[in-house]
Structures are given as C-alpha cells and as structure tokens.
Structure 1
Amino acid sequence: MLSPRTALLFAVVFYLFCTPAFARRYPCDNLLVRKEWRNMHSAEQAEYVRAVKCLQAQPTVKPAYPAAITRFDEFQAHYMKQADSVHNLGQFLPWHRHYLRTYENALRTECAYKGASPYWDWSLDADSNHSISASPVFHPITGFGGDGVPGTYTPTSDNSDDDALAPSAIRGCVSTGPFANYTLNLGIGQHASSHCLTRGIADGAKKYLTSSVVASAMQSEDFAAFRTEIEGEAGTADYNMADGGRIAVGGEMRSDYSAPGDPLFYLHHANIDRIWWNWQQLDPATRFFSISGPATKTEPVHEVGVDYVLYMGSLGLSVPIRDVLDLWSKPNCYSYA
C-alpha cells in the first residue's frame, strides 16, 4: 500500500502531466530530489558537507568583490552586490530559486557532488518545545555546527550593516562542526574582513517559522499576497519567514548582504523555495506563470514580469523568470521530498 505522501506525489504528477490545460515547456529527463536534512542518510550528509568544503577551497572565476578568494566567496560576493535589487521586490522568490540552483550546479559540476541541495524545514523545530539549537542542522557531527561562543568575535568599526553587527545578533564564533575553523573573507555586512563563521541562535525567531505561519501563507490567493507572507514589503513592521530563518541562526545570517557566508543559508532558502513550489502546485495552470510586484525601488518603478532576467554574473547562466517558474522543466529539473 502506498504511503499518504507517496500517493499524493503520484496524484500531483498525474495532474501536472495529464491535465490538458498545462503543458511543460522543456520537460526534464530526470529530477534531482531535495531532501530535508534530518531525512538524509549520514553518508549523504557527509558528502554534501564535503562538497561545500570543496567549493570553499576552489579559486574564484571573476568575483564581484576583489576580497573574494574562493568560489564559495564568489557566491557570497555576488549576493552582496545584488541584495538591494532582489529583496522586497517581485523577483525575490525567482531570483533566490535560480541563485540556489546555480549554487547546487556548482557543487555538482565543480566538486563532483552527485546529490541535490538539502533543505531545512525549520517549522519542525519551531513547533517543538525544544530550543531551535537542538535542530539536527546544528549537530556538531552530522550537522553544520552549533551556536557562536560569546566573546570570541569582535565587530569591525565599519557599521555598514548595523542590525547584523549588533552583539546580541552575532554572539560569537562557531566552535563545533565542519566549519568551526573556516575563515570568511567577506562580511559581516557590506564590507570585507577576514573573520570566523559567527552565529547567535535566537529562539525568539521561532514564532515566524511555525507550521501555522506556513499554513497561512499557503492560503494566499495570488502571488503578491504569497510573497508578502514570505518576505513582507519594504517597511513591514514585523518579521516574516525569510527574516525568521536568518534571525534564528544569527551571526552572518543576520545580514541582508553577507548571509550566504553561512552554509546554512542555502538550506534556509531551499525551504522557502519548497514552500513556494508547494503553493504553486495547488493551482499549476495559473501559478506556474504567475509573477508580480515592483522590479525596482526607485522611480520610475517598473512591474516585474516573466522576461525579467535573473542575473548570476560569473556564477553561472542568467535566465528570464519564465525559465524558473516550473521546477519540472529545464533548466531546473528538481523536486522536493
């Protein structure tokens, strides 16, 4: 007998491929399957960490910041340059989707990784009575290491990102796990400095990450409402899921600019992408082609559309939004378990 999850997956596949109103533009031959970190075998977890560390040792191609030394830095540098043009805007979700897919592709083509990017379903931890630090992603052996140690990090004098530089948000250097001795060359914030990987785990962020918060977003009738549930709007009074995951981890992740310096950033955004994909599948004939919102923050404000190009620079291929809206079409070719 099929499990409920497997039965649902077959039902979705039948609907998507057999409904006359929907036809894939470039159907995939094979799909990578992204798994939740705690559902991966220990060997799969170790192999993913190996690939990330490989990228952290690879030389740059053409970084957006001269201080970037490694290929991993190069992804962080590109994000720092693009952050202001992709947050609180209509392209937020598709840009991050393609950025993450480009990162995944680098792990596979440059570091011989055979798997898919994992995701961190933080709602499982937010719904529990335990500290979010008890999440498997923070395990010192089978995860990404734990919290920062107080007093081990001294902020620079450059206050270009005041929120991220607040001592309570940073706490200190990560002392456990595979990235305990890793040196970042960019951040925290918009500047360049050599420093340890920092974290400041915050249980106060759990309220932005619960299953009820996710369920509320899934009730959104259109893309504009859904995106607002995920990342809010410029000037939104409270935090949201996109903020919540970064605040929960703290340290480098608290910065809108240098957050990809923490490898957990990619698992956080994979989960956001998964939630968007789940929402899209509720009405694929409409939502696989739905995009809206401002494309710029300054006058004249333009509306984002499917022809908006998701710029990846030296990281990889830049593509229009229309190419990333359906995960089961090329060049995406992945799904979520």
Structure 2
Amino acid sequence: MQSLVFLLALSVASASLIPRTSPNLPSSAFPKFHTLSQSDAEAGKDLPEGFNTSAPHTNALNAAATVVTAAEAACSASPNMRFEWRQYSGSDRLAFIAGIKCLMNKPPSGNFPPSTSRYEDFVRLHQLDMPNVHGNPKFLAWHRYYLWTFEQVMRDECGFDRAWPWWDETLDAGKFAQSDMFTNTAYFGHLPPPDANGNGYCIESGAFAGLTCHIGPGSSNTPHCLSRAVDETQTAQCNTGFVNYCNSRTSYSDMESCAEGGPHAYGHDGIGAVMSDVSASPSDPIFWMHHSFVDHGFRIWQNADVADRTTSINGNDHNGNPLTMDTMVSVGGIRPDVRIGDIMNTLGGVSIGGVPFCYRYTY
C-alpha cells in the first residue's frame, strides 16, 4: 500500500513537468567525449610514455586492510542491491522514472545557479567539476560518489523507496535503440538516428518528452531541447570484450584510462547530442543508467583482488597531485566531502551523513 501511495503521489507531481518548446541545437554544439579504440588501448596508446602506473600510492589504511570493521561486516550481511534493468519490475521502473521527474519538478537549492530545478543542481555540479573529474584517474571515484549522492537525494527528497537499477550495456551493445528503455513510451523516450545533417532530434516521446535543458552545452548555459542521435557503431564498443580488456589491466590508473576513454566515452557519444556533451550530459536522464554500467565495471575490476583494489589507488589528479586514499571527493555540499578511502569499497559501510555507503550489484 505504501508503494502504491508513493507511485500515485509521484504521478501527480510529475504531471506538472509540462513539455516546453526549446531550440534543437546542432550536434556541433555539444563538446564530445574523447574515445579510445580497443586496438589503441591494447597498444597502450592511452598510457603516457615513461609514466610508471604499476605502484599504487598507499597510506595507513592499507596496513589495516585485513581488519574487517563492524560497519563492513554489517554492510556485507545486508547490502543494498542494484538490479539490472531486465531484473527490475515494471513497478520499480515506473517508480524510478517518477523519482527523476520529481526532482525535475522541485525548485533548485540556489547553490548551483543558473539551475532551474533540483535535478539541474546535479547537472550544474557536473559542469562545474568537469575538468577535475574527467581525463584523469579521479573520474571513477568521483562518479561513483556522484551517482550514490543522486540516489540518496532522490530517496530523501522524493520518497523513492525501491532498489536502484543498473544497465548492463554489454547486452545491448550495437543495438541500444532496441532496448525497451527507449522503445517503451513509459520510460526514457526514443533513441533516433541523426538527421541528414548529422544532428539529433528533440525527444518527443516517453516520460521526458519536450524537456528543456538549461545547463550546457559545454560551459555555456543556453536553453535547448533534450535531443539524441544514436550511432550504433559507437554503442557497439560497449561490449563484453572491451570491458574485459580494460579490467585485465592490473593498475587502477591504467584500468581507469581504458574504461573512461573506451566503453564509457563510446556510450555517451553513441547516444549522442545532449549525452555527448562532456560537461552537461546528466541533462539526459539516461546518464544515470549509463554511469551505473561504468561503476559496475569498476566494481567487477575490484572484485578480482578485493584486498588490494579496495584499499589502494594510484595515478594523478587534474592538477598533477598523486591520488591517495585520503584524497578528498566533493559533490558541492549536496552530501559531505569524503575521502576516496571511504567510497573505494562499495561494501565498506562507511557512514556518510548518517547513511551507510553500502551496495552491491546483482552480478
């Protein structure tokens, strides 16, 4: 009964998300992600010549890595599960979509101007932090916390009370547009190919039909429609072989470079238009599903050597400073700043603002 009331309430709230008319910007307006082909990754072309990425930067946390804390034990005994979209019930899917629309209908906090909604607070945060959290090994850790923060805000401010979803893109590689996430009009809206000029189309179907994006493209903030322009030759690169190759790299920074420029970047550019905007791609709600896929790959890499890969990190941040487990990660005050060491283990159970950082994927 409680879940039914939740859905009805959000359905009423989401009804106020009235489609609006806004410009459809050309594809050239969106600064695209830099991609790394699998063959170039295998040739090591993404790795700076002479840069030693084999030895992780560690700190005192590693010395105590074999000690299981009470928080970790409690989390491991009963973690929050993230269910792959195909395992997610119809009711859960609708609740997830309604939760996103709820945030779109909430006023902005005022801390991220010119955001026009609580949802766009997150888009603006990503835009502001883009140089610091892309193109360097901080990418995976920051986006893990960013995704978790979005989840917590949707729970706290919109009453979302279901498990969180993730998208196994390897099962849809080369055929994203055929996923029911895009073909079912109750979900994210269609995923059309580009027009004759290579430009995207405004999304006029699904739960986000007619959505106006106020953040982006790039570092500008020009109102534009939510648009897409699928390129299935690029989505095909989100395949199992590429993911597995990236995860075969034993150094965190080596793996991160492959994952960021490989399946991550191809997924963004493959969906195209707004999702290909490096700075403001969260304007497209499918962003959260894509980054659940990216975080899943990160966690699978960690699972191959949990003792080491959840307690150490290497590589340098955007400013050239070595990453350590004490390096801070910030989400602009939406949730507390945390150490990388607090979020490196998704089963660590570290309390963040009174909420345990605790989840695992269904597979």
TM-score, normalised to structure 1, is 0.81
Q: Is 1:58 matched up with 2:106? A: yes
Aligned match for 1:82, one of 102, 108, 129: 129
Residue in structure 2 matching 1:254, options 265, 270, 276: 276
Structure 2: state its 5+ residue gaps: 1-64, 351-355
Give the aligned residue type for 1:333: C
Unaligned runs of 5+ in 1: 1-19, 152-166, 233-239
Alignment of 1:101-112 (within 5 A): 101-112=148-159
Structure 1 residue 215, shift from structure 2 partner: 1.4
2:308 pairs with 1:264: no
Number of aligned residue pairs: give it. Answer: 289
Describe the superposition over 1:12-32 as per-residue Cα deviations: whole angstroms up to 9, x where unpaired: xxxxxxxx9352473245422
Give the Å deviation of 1:148. 4.8
**How do 1:27-38 residues align onto structure 2 when only pairs under 5 Å count?**
27=72, 28-29=74-75, 30-38=78-86
Q: Which residue identity lines up with residue 134 of structure 1 in the other structure?
A: Q
| CA RMSD of superposed structures (Å) | 2.0
Percentage identity across paired residues of the two chains: 27
Asked if structure 2 preserves the Cα contact closer than 8 Å seen for 1:55 and 1:107, the reply is yes
How far apart are the structure 2 equivalents of 1:178 and 1:207? Answer: 26
**Is the CA contact (8 Å cut-off) linking 1:146 and 1:177 kept in structure 2?**
yes
CA distance in 2, matches of 1:22, 1:288: 13
Aligned mates of 2:176, 2:318 — CA distance in 1:
35
Deviations 1:167-215 (A, max 9, x none): 62x5120111100122221122221122221111110113421111111
Q: Are 2:146 and 1:146 aligned? A: no
Counterparts of 1:142-291 in structure 2, within 5 Å, are: 142-148=186-192, 168=198, 170-232=199-261, 240-291=262-313
Query: Conserved in 2, the CA contact under 8 Å of 1:201 and 1:249?
Result: yes
Check the 8 A contact 2:275/2:284 in 1, yes or no. Answer: yes
Q: Distance in 2 between matches of 1:120 and 1:22?
A: 33
State the distance in 2 between where 1:73 and 1:283 align: 37
One-letter amino acid of the structure 2 residue matched with residue 201 of structure 1:
V
- The residue aligned with 2:68 is 23
**Distance of aligned partners of 1:248 and 1:150 in 2 relative to their CA distance in 1, 3 Å threshold:** closer
Residue 44 (structure 2) aligns with: none
Report if the CA contact (8 A) 2:314-2:324 is conserved: yes
Question: Cα gap change, 1:276/1:150 in structure 2, threshold over 3 Å: closer, same or farther?
Answer: closer
Query: Would you say 1:47 and 2:106 are equivalent positions?
Result: no
TM-score, with length taken from structure 2: 0.75
Shift of 1:231: 1.4
Measure how far apart 1:85 and its partner are: 0.5
Which is further off, 21-30 or 100-109? 21-30
Q: Counterpart of 1:176 in 2: which secondary structure?
A: coil
Which letter does structure 1 place at the counterpart of 2:117?
T
Measure how far apart 1:83 and its partner are: 0.5
Write out the 4+ residue segments of structure 1 that deviate beyond 4 Å after TM superposition. Answer: 148-151
Asked whether 1:307 is paired with 2:326, we answer yes
Amino acid at match of 1:70: S
